[in-house]
Amino acid sequence: MVTSAHEGMHRIFQERPEVLAPVFGMLGVPLSAKATVDAVTTDVTEARPLERRVDTVLRIGPSDGEDFLLAIEAQSGKVEGKEASWAYYIAYLQPKYRLPVLLLVVCQDRATAKWAAGPFDCGSRGWTSQRTHPLVAGPDNSPVITDVRTATKNLPLAALSALAHARGPERGAILEAIGSALHELLDTDPETVRYVFEFLETTLGKTPAGEKWKGIMSPVTYFPGRGTMIETAYLEGLAEGKAEGVAEGEAKGILSVLEVRGIAVSDGVRERITTCTDLDLVDTWLERSRTVERAEDLFAEDPEGPGADPGQA
């Protein structure tokens, strides 16, 4: 079964190709940071009723040499016979596109990474007719990014680091660094912030690392997988108001969520939300904003304060 973690382990290379250069660097394979990257069909099925698909296939156009194909597989454990499929992928892709082919296997644990590194030989009687030698990215060679400055400069690589070390003792420090980096970049690069937040929330899921991530991103955990539209609305609102202060940023996030949910907001309610400086109270309203039927219900059981509507306690 294809899980969200499996999907994320290879899709980040499709969606954030800037991660390729540093990953190739840690593998000892030179690759220009200015290389072009294009997705190629992952279907390697022949004219027979046998379906074969590579997780991801990219065409890399380095500035200092010939193009090549990079086949990327996500592997969460050892699978008997998988090495034969990898050999098939390479043998199929090379003549089809008339390009050299490299295979990258991304693993989350050391045992799987050690097995995936091969090499895997096909032959008999002392003669090797074909050898498959994958590149492997796993816990032992993936960077442990715990420095906020480093995470801020390359968020996609930091996200891959979090996934590679999701089962290790470093996961907490890595996620803390990414969380701080996201807050720093919220007003300058909200698109990347949304991508990394959703990528980690989806791929880490309900694992211990996933629970740690939800705790770090506490304002966003009011929307635990309840819909990307609401999460996005909150992040956009927060980014818009962040420069003016935390309370104002969260207030705009609340109003954005209500707007996405189609809930009308009166002038009195809007004024009460935007003038409140009590962060605990704003956090409470934020939590309620995803479930209330009326905007006025945000203030249920709250004492009246500046900007409150008469009769709305």
Is-contact 270 263, C-beta < 8 A?
no
Q: Of 196, 192, 244, whose CA–CA distance to 217 is shortest?
A: 196
Secondary structure of 179-198 as H, E, C letters? HHHHHHHCCCCHHHHHHHHH
Q: Are strands 120-124 and 127-132 parallel, antiparallel or unpaired?
A: antiparallel
Residue for token pair 């008997």: 80
Polymer length of the chain: 313
User: What residue type is 82 in one-letter code?
Assistant: K
- Give the whole-angstrom CA distance, residue 39 versus residue 70: 10
Show Cβ contacts of residue 296 under 8 Å, excluding neighbours closer than 6 positions: 266, 269, 309, 312
Sheet holding 68-75, edge to edge: 36-40, 56-61, 68-75, 101-107, 135-137
Tell me: cis bond preceding 169? Omega within 30 of 0 counts: no
Is-contact 239 249, C-beta < 8 A?
yes
> Cβ atoms within 10 A of the Cβ of 132, count?
19
- Give the whole-angstrom CA distance, residue 274 versus residue 281: 12
Query: Would you give the DSSP letter of residue 34?
Result: T
Q: What are the pLDDT tens digits along the chain (313 aa)?
A: 445 555 556 667 777 777 777 788 888 877 766 677 776 755 544 444 444 577 788 898 887 778 999 998 888 889 999 999 999 999 999 999 999 999 999 888 899 999 999 999 999 988 999 999 999 999 999 999 999 999 999 888 999 899 889 888 999 999 999 988 988 887 788 778 878 887 888 788 778 888 888 888 764 443 434 444 445 555 555 555 554 456 676 787 788 778 767 788 999 999 998 888 787 788 788 878 877 889 999 988 654 443 444 444 3
Is-contact 150 159, C-beta < 8 A?
no
Alpha-helical segments (H) within the chain = 4-15, 20-26, 82-97, 110-116, 148-153, 155-164, 171-185, 190-204, 208-216, 228-242, 246-260, 267-275, 279-288
Q: Of 286, 292, 280, 293, whose CA–CA distance to 303 is shortest?
A: 280
pTM above 0.75, yes or no: no
* The two three-digit tokens of residue 182, written as one number: 């996201």
* The two three-digit tokens of residue 262, written as one number: 């189609």
Give the model's pLDDT for residue 301. 67
Query: Would you give the DSSP letter of residue 128?
Result: E
Q: Of 149, 231, 242, 148, whose CA–CA distance to 187 is shortest?
A: 242
Residue for token pair 């912030």: 193
- Give the whole-angstrom CA distance, residue 249 versus residue 300: 22
